[in-house]
Amino acid sequence: MIELRFANNDLIPTMGIGTWLSKPNEVYNAIITAIKAGYRHIDCAYIYKNEKEIGEALQFAFINGLVKREELFITSKLWNNSHEKAQIEPAIKQTLNDLQLDYLDLYLMHWPIAFKREFEQVKSIENLASLQDIPLEETWLGMAELKKNGLTKHIGVSNFSQKKLQHLIDTTQIVPENNQIEIHPYFQQKKMRGYCKQNNIVVTAYSPLGSRHLTKSENGISENLIIRNMAERYNCTPAQLILAWGMAQGISVIPKSTNTDRINENYNAVNVHLRPEDIDAINMVDENNRQSKGLFAVLPDGYYSYANIWDEDPFVLLKK
């Protein structure tokens, strides 16, 4: 298993399993299957609403000797309605209680978006909090306290633009240790990855196979002729080839699945080693096609827009 290094030389496996959209009655078996397959990196989040069942699976694995706690790298995330400083420690303690753990390996600010405390999801602008009311740097300083208190070994962010990462660094002098973002062959984020490398920020790729609709559509990544032909040459599946490409970029990938065969198939991507010229060929299929846009927080006359979430041209959304 290839691993990446944090600034303090702690390691994070490049292959992990994601748990977003994993149903509570399915995720238990998925975690046990993944651990048996060799996964040692598990990505969770409070808002996925399945951390209790993941915790039960972890306890089964520990008690039955499948793995030791110190052999696992477990990530979770702070949800948008817990950005106020007073809410940050209770939030991670809830996650730790649900996962039945004493500490996390990595805790992330899930989005650069704030909700009012009472609302896990938003339906009107009254449910939103602005970043003037709850600045990102104040939340980030609260995250740093969690690390000081031993509740998590590392802290980072998710869905942050380069501008927002730099803002945290400039205002707090605390560099995020990880940025978890959407990366796949159709959305490669080369500039972001370069920035993170320069600043010693480990990158984790969610949706490393593309979104569900992207991979199943007529023009999905797994149907791309370059990908399919190359997979045949490597005697692997298109999904394995895509994951191998991601790991070859020096990033950690966290494909989600609750299917036993697919969990094992994805893990075996660690055995696919691409030649430089094939990596270059996959690099050429980039379409700058963002699938996860954060539109759940974009409301008429609200504080958030596609442009200010991603710090990008607002017309990008119209072009997709």
- Positions marked active-site: 48
Which residues fall within 8 angstroms of residue 151, CB to CB, at 6 or more apart? Answer: 89, 92, 93, 96, 103, 104, 107
Cα dihedral sign, 26-30-33-36: negative
Residues 148 and 103: their CA atoms lie apart, in Å, by 12
Distance CA 136, CA 90 (A): 18
Tokens of 44: 């969770």
Q: CA 28 to CA 57: how far, in whole Å? A: 5
Cβ atoms of 133 and 84 within 8 Å: the answer is no
Query: CA–CA separation, 204 vs 246, rounded Å?
Result: 10
Q: Which residues, including other chains, have CB under 8 Å from residue 85's CB and lie 6 or more apart?
A: 138, 139, 141, 142
Nearest to 190 by CA among 237, 136, 251: 251
